[in-house]
Each structure stands twice: as C-alpha cells, then as structure tokens.
Amino acid sequence: MRIIFIRHGLTSGNMEDRYIGSTDEPLCPDGIVALRELSCPYCDIVVCSPMKRCIQTADILYPNAKKVICKDFRECDFGDFEGKNYSELSGNDYYQKWIDSGGTLPFPNGESPEDFRSRTVAAFESIMSRYAHCNVLAFVVHGGTIMAVMDRFSFPHRDYFDWHIKNGELLTCEFDGSNITLTE
C-alpha cells in the first residue's frame, strides 16, 4: 500500500517555535497560502488528527476526498510546556532535565513520550488493518505522529528525531504490512 504522510500546515505557534500539542490551534494565514501552492498525490482516503490544523490542511489539500478522523493521531500533550517556547522555558529546571534526557522524560502534567508513541503506533496499526483494501492512504497529522510511526516501522530503520519534517511537507512511502520504506 502506498502511504502519504503530510505534516499539517504552519500555525502561529509553529512560527514562534512553541510546543503546540493539545492546543487546538488553527492554521495561520501564511500556512494557508503555502498549502494552496502544494500539489499532493492522489489518495483513496485521508486520515486526519482531530485537531483544527490537520483538518484544515486536509480540506485544502484534498477538498473532495473521504476523510476519516482518528482521535489517537493527535499530537503529544506537552503539559506545562504547552504553548511555550525555548526562551520562555529557559531557566526551568525540569525543562533542562527533559532536554538532558534526550526528550525521554514525561512532560510535567502532560503525556510521556512513551505513551504518546504507543498510542500513535496502535492507531496506525488499527487504521492500516481497517483500510487494508485501499491502494493509497494519506495521513494529515502532526510532526510527532509521523516521527513515532516512522520510528517504529521504517526500513531501513531511522530513529524518532531523524524523521522530523517541516510544516506542509510530505513523505511518500510504501507499507508492506510490516515495514514502511520511502519511495521518493
């Protein structure tokens, strides 16, 4: 099966390098303009995170496609870091510990990276089973969601942070039931 992973378009929080996970932030005007200039490959079904920024992105890129909302594809809940950027968190002892851990510690009053990745991978497996009859699926989701799925299924394997892509960028892949390989 062919898979297209698309990270949602740019938001105001993204422009300010903020941790935007559970905040249901819409696309910003620059993000909308950039998406309208994109040409995306055909897909049978678009699977989206329930967040506004993903649904808006899917509506722009695939206005006539069937859309399926998957609540477990929402971004990680960054807890006390939510809505803040590096400069605002500078001097926060727990933030420094989180940085020093390589991003493995749980977010205070938020989600642990392990729980986020498990949730996302389980959702991907469920969607792939449910839509196994399709030829091409597009996933309009968050950067972290793409990173978690690719960390688990990529072949050859690359680690979580190696899969970071920019807002509005896409990965075109093949899924053989066990592995995801890049095609372009």
**CATH number of the domain within which 67 lies:** 3.40.50.1240
Confidence category of residue 152, pLDDT binned at 50, 70, 90: very high
Q: What residues have CB less than 8 Å from 182, skipping those under 6 apart?
A: 171, 172, 173
Does the pLDDT of residue 141 top 90, yes or no?
A: yes
**DSSP annotation string for 8-24:** PPPBHHHHTTB--SSS-
Please give the pLDDT value at position 159: 95
**Residues 70 and 47 sit within 8 Å (Cβ to Cβ):** yes
- How many structural domains does the chain have? 1
Decide: helix, strand or coil at residue 43. coil
Where in the sequence is the domain holding 103, given as residue range(s)?
A: 2-182
pTM above 0.75, yes or no: yes
Chain-centroid distance, C-alpha 24: 14
Mean pLDDT over each residue of the chain, to the nearest integer = 96
Confidence category of residue 172, pLDDT binned at 50, 70, 90: very high
How many beta carbons lie within 10 A of that of residue 6, not counting itself?
29
Please give the pLDDT value at position 133: 95
pLDDT per position as a tens digit, 7-22: 999 999 999 999 999 9
pLDDT per position as a tens digit, 86-126: 999 999 999 999 999 998 999 999 999 999 999 999 999 99
pLDDT per position as a tens digit, 49-62: 999 999 999 999 99
Please give the pLDDT value at position 107: 95
Q: What is the mean pLDDT of residues 135-162?
A: 97
Report how far residue 106's alpha carbon sits from residue 103's, in angstroms, rounded to the nearest whole number.
8
Confidence category of residue 184, pLDDT binned at 50, 70, 90: confident
Does the pLDDT of residue 70 top 80, yes or no?
A: yes
